Structure 1
Amino acid sequence: MSDVQTAPSDALTEPKPIIRLKESVVNKIAAGEIIHRPSSALKELIENSLDAGSTSIRVTIKDGGMKLLQIQDNGCGIKCSDLPILAERFTTSKLSSFSDLSHLTTYGFRGEALASISHVAHLSVITKTAAAEHAWKVHYEDGKLVPAKAGQTAEPKPCAGNDGTIITVEDLFYNTPTRLSALRSSTEEYARILDVMTKYAVHNHKVALVCKKAGSSAPDLSSSPSSSTSQAINLLYGTSIGKALLQVTCGPDPNTTHTSKDAESWKAEVVFTNASYQAKKFVFLLFINHRLVESTRIRRAMETIYTSILPKGFFPFMYLSLEINPESVDVNVHPTKREVHFLNEDAIVERVCNVSQERLLHKSQSRSYPTQTLLTQGQRSPMDVDQPGGSQDKEPGPSRVHTVQITSASTSKKKVAPKNLIRTSAADRTLDSMFPVIPSNRTQPQPQPQTEARAQVTTEENSDRGGEGPPAPLRREGSRKTKEIQESTIALTSIKDLRKRIIVKEHQGLHEVLEGHVFVGIVDLDRCLSLVQHSTQLYLLNHGSLAEELFYQLGLRQFSNFAKFKLEPAPPLRKLISIAVDAEDGISRTKLTKEQVTEFIYRTLIDSDRREMLSEYFCLTITDEGLVQTLPLILRGYIPNLDKLPLLLMRLGPQVDWTDEERCFESILRELAYFYVPGPLDGTPTTPEETEESKAEKWQIEHVLFPAMRKYLVPPKSLLERDVVQVASLPDLYRVFERC
């Protein structure tokens, strides 16, 4: 054993030599610190345009900014002599020495934005100053001038152009595939771009900003110069926020003795919503010395103002602009200038919070509450005198809803113009009341559609998963209080990503319509068309498409925590698949027989691992004998059409990607959502007479489905393309009548 020699340990090996990185490697590393995604590149370019004194900025986007990101402004432009070093690192017109940072008033100062972009994209610039006779066009790569085409020179080329600058960024991250693959979809990246532009449009409300997709004629964001921040917020974030805004300006407390000169020189403008506005997420815009920044400490401090005012889980909208002596601010703490530090932060934030809270509490003493006055036969409410036609309305009728302003001074009610009257209750007058109907019982039977297997529906309490129990009978009064649908706690990254994707795709304007709508009536049950009113607008909705998105989101919300309903007797899986395959026309165009397709799908679903996953995560239980025992109960009080069950099981075989976790979960939830959509099977003939089943389905749509949409649906913008259409506007109709 003494002759055996051991190898030297890793600790004794020679250290690797230190080498100087190549300049190209250094520049790409630096570019990764500045340009994270298309929206960060756009933020740098917008700040450059604002520093150039632009009053109009137009942005064009293609594929979320990854294929094309172009920004055009009417600023001062760039001199031709400065173009050769425009895209080199640490070239800037904002400062000349380090001491200039102490009184910096511009957005940019590092001189790294265009340099970083040129290292990860194809960059071209067209610019013209007011004194120049024509514009100049140049191309950059890795910070250097390059020719536009092979055989040409790299020097600036004269071209036509207006005063200002056009910067075009193409093929972003073409040479860094890892960064490119880490980006979200083009839709999500475009949403981030719109978010950045909206925030800058609010703060720079005297600048016109436009953003649109390449090839689109209509912009997705267009802000015209406005006189105040509140007007800009109302235009960009919607009237529901705009009509609830409060505004305060403040500075140092005059009753406090300041020990430093810096603490005296600051000013804050705060625009925030009152207690009447409530949202599911906190929208906070923070600008310090006109720079869009983030600060978790300031955000939390401002959020505590509403702790005793808003219910738990609801948040306000808030805009805060701080102007502080530049000598008190350190802007050189983050590569993208996303964070800044300043002196006396605690004292300044405390002062802003106190002033804002005083204003909020004072305004909260006057709030609007909806009250209902029940009119019995031979009685009229005194408030009817103020309603149009109130003196002639002597017939007894349904309850009318009025809005009473509770104030400390008086309870007087202003007369509302007819063109501004807003439906506040579905009981005012529904679409069904305009047509003669046969009186029906107050209690409607639950719909119990059956498959060929004659399966009866029995709801089960899923005690192991926190289920909500069986639904009560459907009642027209709609007075039964439904239990809150809680979001399940899941550690799976795939489910967390799917939930985040829903929030990113939300369309705020459509969310306001659905959240504050009043149901008018069902237009066409077979075509899934319904009418709702929001404010003074009337909308035609495809409630089938909205329901499909709702059930997908509810399924994702309750993932692995479903209640369930039991099929008695349990129908055989093979028989159900066979029914759907026989009815499928496309099978005849394949080389497989219907029996072979049925067997393939059956073997796919009867697999023990897949059955265990379906049962554990989705409460879709298939026994060892091949019997479908239970299905998930996604929404209490709503029973799907079980005639669609064979189609659901058939589609679960080929339509689900069983090899990828996230795509597997998403496709199963989409198929369950499609199964839950109201309406008959495609191509199923319907009778013109109204049956008990159609009455029950209409009741479910009005009293279960639409209230659930109002409470839980986070609508994506894609629903606006063809599923939500504004068909009338009360003020516009009155203008037409006035011309007649």
Structure 2
Amino acid sequence: MATEKPAAPPAPRAIAKLPEAVVNRIAAGEIIQRPANALKELIENSLDAGATTIRVTVKEGGLKLLQIQDNGSGIRKSDLPILCERFTTSKIKAFEDLSSLGTYGFRGEALASISHVAHLSVTTKTRDETCAWKAAYADGALIPLKPGGDAAPLPCAGNDGTVEDLFYNTPQRLRSLRPANEEYARILSVVTAYSIHNAGVSFVCKKASSSSSSTADVNTSVGASTLDNIGLLYGEAVRRELVEVVAESDELGVKVRAWCSGANYQAKRSTFLFFINHRYVDCTSLKRALEAFYSTLLAKNTHPFVYLSLSISPAKIDVNVHPTKKEVAFEDEDEVVQLVCEKLAEVLEKQGESRSYKVQTLLPTNGTPTAARTLAGSAATATPAASSSRKPSTGSSTKPAKVAPNKLVRTDAQSQTLDAMFPTLPASSNSRTGDKTREAADDDDRPSKKRKSDHDPAFATQLAVQQAKQKSARVRIAQSECALTSVRQLRKEVVEARHEGLDALIKGHIFVGVADLVTRKSMIQHQTKLYIIDHAAIGEELFYQLGLRQFGRFSRIKLQPPQDLRKLVQLAVDRASGEAAAKAAPSRIVERVYSTLHGARAMLDEYFSFSISDDGKIESLPLVLPGYSPDMNKLPLFLLRIGAHVDWEHEKPCFATFLRELAFFYSPAPSPTAPLTPPSQDQVDAQKRMIQHVLFPAAKQYLVPPERLLKKDIVLATSLEALFRVFERC
């Protein structure tokens, strides 16, 4: 019986260019996702025009009518023909202008996108013109105001922009929207946020009605302050509970101004209004850090109110990361979040009246109060940035919710520590009495024995001094400005490889201790879980990312005296090849590595501060992390590896492989070639201190952990819940 032949694969489809109208409509759907997005763009245009009065009228949740009237500077008649063409704007002239952007708009896509999914008309008048001009648009072009008429703008009176029949030509989007009352609620939230932030600008928002005297849902006055508008829109009960938070950091180049609720505030849902450089945005790291902060301050099932405005240098912020501009990216995000939480804790500590509480920073070193999420990447409760000891006043009946014992996590540095559970081994002596005396003395010196109570003044002073030293020792590593496309791509790859759950673990962990230097194992705690972590792998990834961060702007480790490059390479080759083969090919390897590094010395010095003199002496090495010293026993191997493993022919692979080898040199992994003498106990202790007080705090601050670290470098040892199940059987 003849077998049937398999069907031939289908022929490949021809690739065709999409019509411009289709492209524009697809792009419009990304930018204008719902009526609230369209209104946000129109409000920002009014504010850019210097308006002091903005009036919004809405019909059927903005789908039938969305009109905005303002007293801004207006649009010139000569600009109306191209007003709704894509990428036409008065805000910027070149891409470099984004680094000094002082306006809301910059892409020139908002009005164009609206015109592709709605019927748009604009009535505008400048101060120099004798009358206003009205124009209608469809698909980015002028159309006649009346059928059969001329498409040119017509003279009239008024100053407004009107959007009608939104999404009339995209039925799928129209069906996916919420009911009209819910869409109107979203519109109100946008108007409310901008009216609070732009105190001094009058905002009115109301539903369209046949009666001109219908009540407005938002109605703020020109002379009102931010706090006045909050009281008007959210109620006097909210206004009374707010405290002002003001902070500034010249080092970070940021100014903070906020109104935040205190310990007595109670609400069933959170309210977060975040403005970054006057732009209404979502900031996940700020939101989760503040939620974590308030979770230890407020009663169960109550949530905070936070209005927060950040002013950051335009050169440090990227506003072009989201189609609707709802998200922005800025430098030193973790440090800014930490600054906000620390200042808020300081203000609330002084402000507390009906409740007395103290603030204890959970992260003891360089860490940031970033959100803690599950390793699966789902949103979860964040690591608290502060813990509080609440004492309800006599007038308050609120009782803190009881936490199950298997969920309790130690967050107070003054409570008893694990070292109280272990006996101190005294030094050997012939006198039993001497042993007991020394044991008692050692036992008394133990930190946990010094803590008579949580309110011991001597210990509190000591703790404050230690925290001040840790804070002053924080290292800030600014990211260098680099125009090389290859470096930008490598930095982007690091960000895209970030694992959200692992990032929460690293930034929210508590260091437990170094378990073993030889096997490169340390232990950390995150919430109720204990992890075994390969500190060498974590360090290697950290040093690679720090190398990318400082590309072209490394500090130097100067070698005194300079070391001979050829001799060091020879030493590495001898160790690697062994005594038997030391007389053959290794000599050619030494010369090849030497000539490669000597020939690339100009590039190495310019980009990596790796200086090699003309006569082959190593004068300086790159300093990747201030306060951290690499193992110089690994220097010969480092030179051999960069000579043999670095791709010197292609730019991007060259930078990537060199930085990987530099990270290997800096990592706390033991040298593959055993040192001549074993390290002393002082050297071992110094390395452990370096890992605990320099490496892991820097990882909290700068590491963007990739998912591959989860495969073998981070292992869950146990959890509090698991230990409770074990001990319940005993």
TM-score w.r.t. structure 2 length? 0.48
TM-score w.r.t. structure 1 length? 0.47
